[in-house]
Structure formats: C-alpha cells, structure tokens
Amino acid sequence: MKQNPLFNIEPENPPLISLDPKTAPDKFQIIYADPPWDYHDRTFLDGKVNDTGAASDHYPTMSPDQLMEMRVSKFAAKNSLLYMWTTGPQLQISLDVMQAWGFRYKTVSHVWSKIRCNPGYYTLSSTEFIIVGTRGSIPKPRGTRNERQFHEQKRTKHSAKPSHFRETIERMHPKQTKLEMFARIASPGWYVWGLDAPNPVHLPGILGVRDDLPW
C-alpha cells in the first residue's frame, strides 16, 4: 500500500529567537561568555601579529589586553555571576580577565570532553572548561543544584559549544536576567551580544577605550 506523502511531512523546527533587545535591562544577573581568545600566534584585531592559528580563520580574535579593557562590570548587576569558557593554556589569562571584569573566581562549573583529542604540549587535549565568578552574591532565587559538572559530546563547528551547557545554566538560574556575550546564535530566554549575534542588544561603551573594534 502506497503511503500518503502528506502524512510523512515532518514539522519544521521553529527558528530560535532571543529576547527582544528593546526590553533589555541596564544590568544582567547572569553573563555567559565565550571570549574570542588569541593564542599568541594569530592576528589581533589591530592586525599587528600575523596569524598562523585556526581561530581567526573563522572570527576576529582579541588579545588579553583588549579583553581586560572591556567594561563588563558596567552591565553586571550588583549580585551577578559570570560563566566564562576557557582552555588549559588560557586559564591564567582567563582569571585575569574575570578579575578585570569585576568578578571573583569561585570554581570550575562545567567540563566539556570533546571525545576527539588534539595534540598538546604535555598530554592529548580533549577538554574545555567553564569557570564561574561572582560579583556580590549569587542572585536569588536559585534553581537546580544537582547539575553534573562533566559532559561528553563530540564537537561540531569550530568553537561552537554544545547547547547543553547553556541549558544547565538556565535550569540553575531560571528567574535571572541573562546575557550571552560573543554569541553566534539566537538563544530563547537570553539577550545576546556579539559580532555575529542575531538581533543583539546595544551595550554602549562595553569595549572601553577600544570602542573602534568590530564588536
């Protein structure tokens, strides 16, 4: 018996839509950031260093000084959290950036095992981390407190992070205002900002003295 094609049509997934930037608050309680780290062998945004790395083949990177000059604290609530992606080689720089942004380092909140390993200077590298810092105290009310720190999932596009991590943060902080910095996709329930972010919020002066940069 031949099947009717009308019954085989799968519904299309609705497009992801972030929160309307017109409704954005002046300050945010949860900030989630995946900074465009440079690894000392790629072009900085001012073009002073020749690139031999992979990251800037996909997006402009920022030097540690450029990141530390950002005025993130201007947009952080009195009681707020920063969840920041980092890697082993960037750990000390990440802590410096977190402090410059007005947050105090607390712990590694998430570990992503990408399954496939890359050559490292000491061991095979297969993980990235989210470090969390506080400004004031943890904003209330809190949500779940039993999220697992470790998650294993194959990587996809360059630098793309699994949505799993954003979703755990949503469950941990369901009522808080949320901003994703350096976003590349829309995220329901979040305000987004970044060079590739669709319908981004306007954060005047966030780049500090380097307000001429693409972001």
Judge whether 11 lies within some domain. Answer: no
pLDDT digit string, tens, across residues 67-125 = 999 999 999 999 999 999 999 989 999 999 999 999 999 999 999 999 988 888 889 88
pLDDT in tens, 148-206: 999 999 988 877 999 999 999 999 999 999 999 999 999 999 999 999 899 999 999 99
Return the residue matching tokens 């299309």. 12
DSSP helix/strand/coil, 29: strand
pTM of the model: 0.85
Decide the pairing of beta strands 178-181 and 150-152. Answer: unpaired
Query: Which 3 state secondary structure label does DSSP give 172?
Result: helix
CATH number at residue 84: 3.40.50.150
12: in domain: no
For residue 65, report the phi and psi dihedrals to the nearest 5 degrees. Answer: -65, -40
Range of the domain at 114: 29-210
Residue 3 in any domain: the answer is no
Question: Does the residue 87 lie in any domain?
Answer: yes
Is residue 42 assigned to a domain? yes
| Residue 183 placed within a domain | yes
Q: 17 lies in a domain?
A: no
The 3-state DSSP class for residue 124 equals coil
What amino acid is encoded at 80 in this protein? S
d(CA 25, CA 38): 31
Cα(30)–Cα(35) distance, integer angstroms: 16
User: Phi-psi category of 102—alpha, beta or left, where left has phi over 0 and alpha has psi -120 to 50?
Assistant: left
Q: Could you give the number of structural domains in the chain? A: 1
24 lies in a domain?
no
